[in-house]
Amino acid sequence: MINFLTNSSFYALCKIASITTGMLLCMTIFYYILIHEWRVRKMMPNLKTFNSSPTLPVIGSLHHIAFNINKGATKLLQIFNHYKLPLVGWIVRSPFVAVGSYEDIQIVMNNSLERDFLGLLRKVATNSTLLLQGEQWQKSRHIATPAFSYGAMQQYIPVFNEYASFLVKKLQQFSNNNEAIEITNHVFSMNIDATIQNMTGYKLRSLETENTEVIKLLFKLLQMESMRFAFPPLFPEFMYKIYLFFSGKDKLYKKIHAISKKILKDKLNQYEMNKKREKNQDTHETDDQDSKSLINLLLKVHKIDATLTEKHIRDELIIMITLGYESISLTVCAMLLMLAMNPDIQVNNLKTETFTLSFNAYISTITFRQRYTTKL
């Protein structure tokens, strides 16, 4: 009898605990929805005038990018091709705006983002200049996208070509193999090496040494973020932190932050040494290419304006590496696919292509000479 009462009491307590937990969870979600609706109330009238893909009642319109980066990227490209900018997408009730002109970007950053609407990206890049708001962004916008300047392109192309040549040599060993090969890791390694060297002057050499730890780490982070986009319970920051803690995946973020801290520490010491050498010897022996790297541009601004902290610079590196290597890798894979589908154009031993790039008011013609040595 005592046993029965004890068991009954235990079951009753479990039932009460489960009901209480469910009620607390529902109240928390309801509270989050109310706070969110209050924060975006001023944006809604403007966002309703933007183009938008078909939106489901609760899920939104960007659920396609969850769990599978490749399919998600394909779906996003289809949306961008079908609708004109500015374009708004929805994750539950949270808007994600795509704009195409510099003026639109400035309006959005200055007026719509005075409060924190970028919690998803802030887990990886908490203080990137891409995510700065209002006044901070106005001060730092000239360094937010330095990769699009003509001078930076001139610097990057030789670095990219150097690693691309190494990739070609790497793939030539498979040229006599009739079986399909997986080249994703090789392409990702090449691009992460080129991206990090161009931004920091730091040579990771993951393609040469076949050390793919950084590549796998970045790819896992991208998968986690894309999974979060279409899973509403993980959208609130506190829920995502709980998930990371209990799943043990918060270690991934700690690892990527440790890598960026090491790079920043090495480059900061090198930057200080170069400045002292220039001051004492009144010479400029610093490598010109390295001095124009993104991290040195950020360090230069950091010395002038203390509001751009070392933490900002560290997070800037993470966001640039994460976004840069993935987009370049996808582009290179698409180029390789087109070459493989059209083997006739590979017959030419040398192919010269000329096209015009326009950077603001400056127009420049760049000629590329591409050599095809082995059919894919």
pLDDT digits (tens, 9 = 90+) for 154-208: 677 788 888 888 888 887 777 777 777 777 777 777 878 887 787 777 777 777 7
Could you tell me which residue, 173 or 30, shows the higher pLDDT?
173
Q: Give mean pLDDT, residues 97-124.
A: 52
Ramachandran region, residue 374 (left: φ > 0; alpha: ψ -120 to 50; beta: rest): beta
Instruction: Quote the CA–CA distance of 113 and 95 in Å, as a whole number.
Output: 12
Instruction: Please state, rounded to an integer, the average pLDDT across all residues of the chain.
Output: 66
Instruction: Quote the CA–CA distance of 120 and 138 in Å, as a whole number.
Output: 22
Q: Give mean pLDDT, residues 55-78.
A: 62
Q: Is the pLDDT of residue 372 over 50?
A: no
Encoded tokens for 24: 């607390």
Phi and psi of 354, rounded to 5°?
A: -125, 130
Are 152 and 293 in contact by the 8 Å Cβ rule? The answer is: no
- Return the percentage of the chain with pLDDT > 70, whole number: 48
Q: Where does the chain show beta strands of DSSP type E?
A: 51-52, 87-91, 94-98, 350-359, 362-371
Q: How wide is the angle at C-alpha 59 spanned by C-alphas 111 and 61, nearest 5°?
A: 60
Instruction: Quote the CA–CA distance of 33 and 9 in Å, as a whole number.
Output: 36
* 87-91 vs 51-52, strand pairing mode: parallel
* 87-91 vs 94-98, strand pairing mode: antiparallel
Q: How wide is the angle at C-alpha 343 spanned by C-alphas 166 and 175, nearest 5°?
A: 45
Phi and psi of 284, rounded to 5°?
A: -125, 80
Are 122 and 131 in contact by the 8 Å Cβ rule? The answer is: yes
Q: Which of 102, 375, 91, 125 is nearest to 257 (CA)?
A: 125
What is the predicted pLDDT for the residue at 299?
A: 78
For residue 72, name the pLDDT band (cuts at 50, 70, 90).
low
What is the predicted pLDDT for the residue at 93?
A: 63
Q: Give mean pLDDT, residues 112-138.
A: 44
Q: What is the pLDDT of residues 256-273, one digit of tens each?
A: 778 778 878 888 888 778
Instruction: Quote the CA–CA distance of 354 and 368 in Å, as a whole number.
Output: 6
What is the predicted pLDDT for the residue at 324?
A: 67
Q: Which of 324, 293, 318, 333 is nearest to 167 (CA)?
A: 333
Residues with Cβ < 8 Å from 139, sequence gap 6 or more?
A: 305, 307, 308
- Return the percentage of the chain with pLDDT > 90, whole number: 0
Q: Give mean pLDDT, residues 196-223.
A: 74
DSSP character string of 238-252 = HHHHHHHHHHTTHHH
Q: Is the pLDDT of residue 337 over 70?
A: yes
